Amino acid sequence: MRIFVDRSRCEGHGLCAQHAPAVFSLDDDGELTHRFGDADIPAEHLAAVRAAIGSCPMAALRDG
Number of other CB atoms surrounding residue 64 within 10 Å: 6
The CATH code of domain 3-59 reads: 3.30.70.20
pLDDT given at position 64: 85
The pTM of the full predicted model, rounded to 2 decimals, is 0.89
pLDDT given at position 42: 96
pLDDT single digits (tens) 9-45: 999 999 999 999 999 999 999 899 999 988 999 999 9
pLDDT given at position 38: 85
With b for 16 or more beta-carbon neighbours within 10 A and e for fewer, the 7-41 pattern comes to eeebeebebbbebbeebbeeeeeeebebebeeeeb
pLDDT given at position 18: 97
Evaluate whether 31 touches 23 at the Cβ level (below 8 Å): no
Q: Assign 3-state DSSP to the chain and report helix, strand, coil percentages, each to 5.
A: 30, 20, 55
Q: Is the pLDDT of residue 8 over 90?
A: yes
